[in-house]
Amino acid sequence: MQPKDTTQNEAFKGFTNTACPFYPCHKGVETEFNCLFCYCPLIAYECPGPYKVFTDKNGLKRKDCSDCILPHNGYLRSWNFIQKWLERPVIWDGHEQTLPPVRRLRAAPGGAEPTDDQPAGDAPATDEPAKAD
């Protein structure tokens, strides 16, 4: 059991820091601006983006996430998005954004190898609480 399973209070899933000098750092957020995932946990993993790729001064491929609002758009929506994509993280190899976006791996029935048979991007459509697959 996780501590979060012992409470109905979902306040840990998001907050807005309006005192931040960079707030709002991304345009297009439609509901509560979630600052919890500032420095996105998916930066080193596959994600649906959108992102652009650049090479830093050390020659490493990096994501430029300026156009992405997925970790910020609504407390519950962004929380659920991050939790789902971290269930089976896949290391990002530095490739460019794909169209359609990379698909999220999901558990296959009976403990078989994970599959990627869900809608492209698997972006959250609602603020519904996270559910187990």
Give the residues lining the site for ligand SF4 (CB under 6 A).
40, 42-43, 47, 49, 51, 63, 65, 68, 70-71
Q: Give the H/E segment covering residue 52.
A: strand 52-55
Angle in degrees, CA 77, 99, 44, rounded to 5: 60
The pairing of strands 61-64 and 52-55 is antiparallel
- Tell me the residue ranges of DSSP E strands in 9-74: 52-55, 61-64
d(CA 104, CA 26): 24
Q: Which is nearer to ligand SF4, 9 or 22 (CB)?
A: 22
CB of 1 vs ligand SF4, minimal distance in Å:
28
Q: Which is nearer to ligand SF4, 98 or 108 (CB)?
A: 98
CB of 38 vs ligand SF4, minimal distance in Å:
10
Q: Which is nearer to ligand SF4, 70 or 76 (CB)?
A: 70
Up-side HSE of residue 80: CA atoms within 13 Å toward CB? 17
Q: Which is nearer to ligand SF4, 55 or 108 (CB)?
A: 55
For residue 53, the Cα-to-chain-centroid distance in whole angstroms is: 17
CB of 33 vs ligand SF4, minimal distance in Å:
14
CB of 116 vs ligand SF4, minimal distance in Å:
17
